[in-house]
Amino acid sequence: MEEPGPAAAPPEGRGRDERSLEALSLAGGAGAAVAGRQLSEGRRATLASALELEGTVLREGRLTQFVANNLERRIRLSGAPRGEPPAGSGGSSIPAIDPGALQDVVALAGQVAAQVDELLRNVHCGLQALTALSVGCIQTYRDGVESLGEAADLSIRAMYALVARCEELDRAMQPVPALAKRIRDMKGTLERLEGLCK
């Protein structure tokens, strides 16, 4: 089995962008094995130095963060089917625009706009009807409150008038007990006169 040689410099372009973290970690592990089984920190340092060739490495304590160079291009390459050239290389991957499809889109947009206009008109009419109903309810409530106030005022006035009449009646009835006493006296006198006449 052949010993792995020193890692060749990554080619410029797509070959360099397609190097994965796994390949870098294997390269770092092979270098560490040849160096004589260094400690885990040394392997991490070797891996970090290999990663620095492909991007930015940030260390915070035991946490190591890696940000790849040309990240957007790598994402596009990872999403492209195998064997298909990337979007930035040579031929254009954007298909030709179909005029019929554009006309269909314009027609559909017109239909959507007409339906939105109709919906807005319906909403406007509904809001006007609700507003008119709310105004009618508020006016009815106002008229009921006003009539209730008038009825309460009339009732209070009638009650005061009744109390005044009752007071007048009480004052007018004050001579009645004396008159009743006189009537009883006259009745007694008449009874005695009848007794004498017999």
pLDDT at 23 over 70: no
69-98: pLDDT as tens digits: 777 777 777 765 555 555 544 445 666 777
Instruction: Please report the beta strands in 16-93, taking only residues with DSSP state E, as ranges in sequence order.
Output: 55-60, 63-68
pLDDT for 32: 42
Helix 21-35 to helix 40-52 angle (10° resolution) is 130
> Which strand (E) or helix (H) includes residue 37?
none
CB burial readout 154-170, b (16+ within 10 A) else e: eeeeeeeeeeeeeeeee
**Mean of pLDDT over the chain:** 75
pTM beyond 0.85: the answer is no
pLDDT for 69: 79
pLDDT for 175: 87
Q: Where are the domains of the chain?
A: 99-188
Cβ neighbourhood burial of 26 (10 Å; 0-12, 13-18, 19+): middle
